[in-house]
Structure 1
């Protein structure tokens, strides 16, 4: 018992605020498990190299990474090596050849000038003429020039015999050979020269020399020099080659196994490739990749986040209401997932097109009745998005989109069609209309998907859609009382039921406290008119007024409207005793309503319709006997009204009682009473916890005056019965 009290105290003090988050987390986990159970692929018990017993299709579109890698490798391998053409190479080789011939001419000229000087000097001295510069001397001088301060040793490619031949040429022949060699070199080096085709280029260039007009005895030297001068002018670029191979690999379109694609035909041998694809699609182990689990978790988290922000955006709801709305919304979503699971099971037993039987209008219809139209639109979107992933199976993507589109259209139709939900007959009529709309939607969607018009497969889903439309509303009518009981939700149909005069509690008020019953009816008329004027829930206000004073049925004679013949039991009681009896009718009324399982809004009206106002009559009576009495001792326990509707009832209740006790109420008296009571409530800060505005209070003031003036208007004095009676 000790631990129970501690637990109860902790719950009401701290733990109660955690209940809603914990329940929502549980709903999230349940929804995640249900979705993963529905979307995970079907498992097939097949073995390698056996004959397939049935045709297996891909349940989803997935990338075949192994095949993609193979295609990327092949594309990279097919890329040729990249060579970079260098024009400077041709210029450098041509300069080298020209330099060779220039050195030859320079050596010959230097030798000739040296011989001339030597001969002149000998002639002047009358000496014998010296010998001319020998060929060996010229060759040695040429070799020295060619090998001094050079980056490339020409002697590695040109031998002494070739140089000797060049030195023996006269100036004209030397120029002719130079011209032919450089011309052929320019033509050869202007094209792509690589190591693999350099021989062919040299042969072609040598053929050019062969056909030239230079002396035949010099063609061999020219060919040799030309062959030496021709080198590769394109070099391999490893970096560019690697970049092009990467680009080629990146341009490969990923190989995908498409949803609905046949993996293996019935009767076909399951080879290694087919078996690998089945394993890749998790059709052998009935598992999904981790990233898919994460994806569905993030999807649900996104939907939950949308619901959270959307609910918090409803400024007309207090925190308790927002939590209640979130719980109801989540419960309906879980119910929708369960129905989706049933439909998926029926699809698994090969019932064709059974997905169109899904009661798509159920969620929007329930949410619109229990919450409001905005949340109904949201549950429609949630259901449509979820169905897009659920209705996969062996279906193609086109069928998947068709079913999701049907669910979206059916949900929207139910929101539009459902207007009057105070009567079950009106709800059923809306269900019939939605069923017809479903038939039209499926008919159009199947036409768009190019289905055969004169086939059974076309008309069966149309019939399913009609049954799903009606079934949604029939199921909704049966489930609504369950939600009303579980979450204390108050629907229009429930309010209409509670407003029935034959309700046991109303009959109890009528029999035990007829004055209170009449007072409640009058307050209901006043408060309903005010609620209509400010756009409040007038039906809730009316029904709440019927039961707001039910606590008076425990002690009817102690309330003035039930006292007969001027007998007042309070004359025998102290002010404190009278106070306790008067104040108790709010808590007693709330207790009676709880015992009879009334919706929380009605209980709140019974508990809060007096707020924390002062029981003035007995307070002043006690004050006369004991000046030390405080107002706090004679105030209702509250709480203060937390909704506009209860604030209206608070004002209307006092106004009706005050005007009823007034002798010959006139417009001026009624206005004075209304103004006095409203100002008293404002100064007493009775409306600080509800969202009623000053503008709405002014509308309530005007509405009360107009309504009461209509009730208590001046009547014409008719002649008495002796003169013909009243008309």
Structure 2
């Protein structure tokens, strides 16, 4: 047990990566749909590329959306209208008519005419209430069927046009009076009817809608079926019409059928294999080509977190409405990784993420093509992210590529631009605007994961920062030396393709530890008094060596990033404080050499190695007397070769060719500083 614990302790970094790998895999698999996936890709109007396809099981042929829509419209148009009949209204109307007739009609009317007119009114009332009088005029088609209900029981069925509307009553009365020759009594007779007539029909909206919904629910979403073993489509046949609908039905059946517990576990297992394979490729890439990142668990966690975040957001959008899939700014991933690491890692991670998303998005080939092309454009166009204009220009280019690629796919699928979905272009624009969110996201990541981007490096390179201001006030000579080293280091980094911004910032801050005892360093001794004259060689060496330790403490106190602190740690490596060592050796030949060595570590990157070379060359160049081109060449060669002999660059991934390029830059720069002309042979 003890051995096992020791083994875990020795390999805790790998154990952490294994846990991260497993947890990320299961989180992504949890988000994936747990259904079968149709293994064939097909497009409407295009030839079937696979072998002859036979039905693997019995399945129903689904109707198209247009067919279902047409059926719903037909049912809605033919739906019955339901009206409630109010009982007792007819009896009440007749009773009021009888009593009001005597009051409204003149007594001078001849008895026979009066009786005839009285009976005419009763006949008209009977005709009005044969079907019923509506309480208001509804905007329904005249030919629709109306069902009259008495206490929820169907009384009779008529056409809606047969129901009497109140604004038609006057026309009916006038027509009947004219037919019987009683037009002279039109005014009092119509006035009488408008006093006594009451509506007895009211529209039952709730019951009508319930009946309509019941009819709509009876719609069948399938038409016919395909038996197992039936040929669905042959190789080379064009996918269209009924064949297209059968293929869509089979695809839908694969994705929606109810799976047994055994099938479910197999699908989860298969998804786990695919996801773990993709994430394993990402880990292997880091292990082989970005080992410094692989060894840093925080950075590996950061990369896996961003991959999972893109999958998570895309899954949410697909589950809500897959039409909005292109609003998700996937290109933020390569932007973020390029800002913190490099373009190659950004593109590789982007491709892995898009491959994972291909399992959950519709039209996976189209989606993957668009996103990979957009990712490549992102990597190729976005440079110097700290410049705001560059980001806006790049986002515009990414959006344009989305639009062009989508347009091409649409024309290929549909064969024309008549039905082009312009709203999709709007989604690409929204995606571009969302991509601009990368700037605040990078800032948040810097705080959460302790990473450093070019934006932060640009801020740190400002010589008006509090720490550099303090350095210029307390140790002006050191500050000037740091500026010169920064210029040399930046030029050298540009020459070999290293991170110029990082090495410049590292050079500006590498000697901040000298603020603690500025006068003990030659560049700050303006009075001609040397404090080392009062110290022993060992004490002097300790003061010189301590500027590295002091620099680290000051940097941490001022919250400088670890990547910048690395330059303070390594800019002298494990080199010797040579002057005081030789001085002490003259007194005591058995002196311990380690007492005069810097604590290290040695430079472990191209950037830290560049700083060591530039710092040594710039500092020593002040001792050159009557410099010439040949003297400068020999001087640079001697200093850097000595560092190579001391194996100071053993841990840095820098080549001999790159070192030679740096020497060339340093010689050229020093020649410019001393305003030297080319030496011509005599």
Q: What range is the shorter-chain TM-score in?
A: 0.5 to 0.7
TM-fit CA distance, 1:451? 9.0
Unaligned ranges ≥5, structure 1: 1-9, 42-58, 64-250, 393-398, 716-727
Instruction: Provide the residue aligned with 2:412 in structure 1.
Output: 448
Higher mean alpha-carbon deviation, 301-310 vs 668-677, is at 668-677
Indicate which of 610, 626, 643 corresponds to 2:572.
610
Asked if 1:346 is matched to 2:320, the reply is yes
Asked if 1:292 is matched to 2:275, the reply is no
1:74-122 Cα distance to aligned partner (Å, 9 max, x none): xxxxxxxxxxxxxxxxxxxxxxxxxxxxxxxxxxxxxxxxxxxxxxxxx
TM-fit CA distance, 1:577? 2.2
TM-fit CA distance, 1:692? 2.4
Between the aligned partners of 1:404 and 1:690, the Cα distance in structure 2 is 38
Between the aligned partners of 2:627 and 2:33, the Cα distance in structure 1 is 72
TM-fit CA distance, 1:32? 2.7
Instruction: Provide the residue aligned with 2:244 in structure 1.
Output: none
CA distance 1:400–1:690, shift in 2 (3 Å): closer
Indicate which of 483, 489, 514 corresponds to 1:552.
514
Asked if 1:267 is matched to 2:267, the reply is no
Between the aligned partners of 2:629 and 2:453, the Cα distance in structure 1 is 38
TM-fit CA distance, 1:507? 1.4
CA distance 1:680–1:380, shift in 2 (3 Å): closer
Between the aligned partners of 1:478 and 1:299, the Cα distance in structure 2 is 33
Instruction: Provide the residue aligned with 1:460 in structure 2.
Output: 423
Asked if 1:378 is matched to 2:352, the reply is no
TM-fit CA distance, 1:572? 2.2
Asked if 1:671 is matched to 2:671, the reply is no
Superposition pairs for residues 483-562 of structure 1, below 5 Å?
483-562=445-524
Say whether the 8 Å CA contact 2:293–2:299 is kept in structure 1: no
Q: Which has the larger radius of gyration?
A: 1
TM-fit CA distance, 1:563? 1.6
Instruction: Provide the residue aligned with 1:39 in structure 2.
Output: 33
- Matched residue of 2:501: which SS? helix
Say whether the 8 Å CA contact 2:34–2:264 is kept in structure 1: no
Say whether the 8 Å CA contact 2:25–2:279 is kept in structure 1: no
CA distance 1:616–1:320, shift in 2 (3 Å): farther
TM-fit CA distance, 1:292? 1.0
Asked if 1:650 is matched to 2:600, the reply is no
CA distance 1:343–1:451, shift in 2 (3 Å): farther
CA distance 1:309–1:267, shift in 2 (3 Å): same
Say whether the 8 Å CA contact 1:343–1:354 is kept in structure 2: yes
TM-score (norm 2): 0.64
Asked if 1:302 is matched to 2:277, the reply is yes
Superposition pairs for residues 547-586 of structure 1, below 5 Å?
547-586=509-548
Asked if 1:416 is matched to 2:360, the reply is no
Between the aligned partners of 1:440 and 1:626, the Cα distance in structure 2 is 78
Between the aligned partners of 1:22 and 1:414, the Cα distance in structure 2 is 32
Q: How many residues align?
A: 487
Higher mean alpha-carbon deviation, 440-449 vs 627-636, is at 440-449
CA distance 1:694–1:442, shift in 2 (3 Å): closer
Instruction: Provide the residue aligned with 2:20 in structure 1.
Output: 26
- Matched residue of 2:421: which SS? helix
Say whether the 8 Å CA contact 2:616–2:639 is kept in structure 1: yes
TM-score (norm 1): 0.60
Asked if 1:469 is matched to 2:432, the reply is yes
Instruction: Provide the residue aligned with 1:332 in structure 2.
Output: 306
Superposition pairs for residues 89-104 of structure 1, below 5 Å?
none
Unaligned ranges ≥5, structure 2: 41-52, 69-215, 226-251, 678-682
Instruction: Provide the residue aligned with 1:366 in structure 2.
Output: 336
CA distance 1:24–1:410, shift in 2 (3 Å): farther
Between the aligned partners of 1:284 and 1:647, the Cα distance in structure 2 is 60
Asked if 1:659 is matched to 2:621, the reply is yes
Say whether the 8 Å CA contact 2:28–2:275 is kept in structure 1: no
Superposition pairs for residues 9-20 of structure 1, below 5 Å?
15=9, 17-19=11-13
Between the aligned partners of 2:469 and 2:327, the Cα distance in structure 1 is 45
TM-fit CA distance, 1:627? 3.1
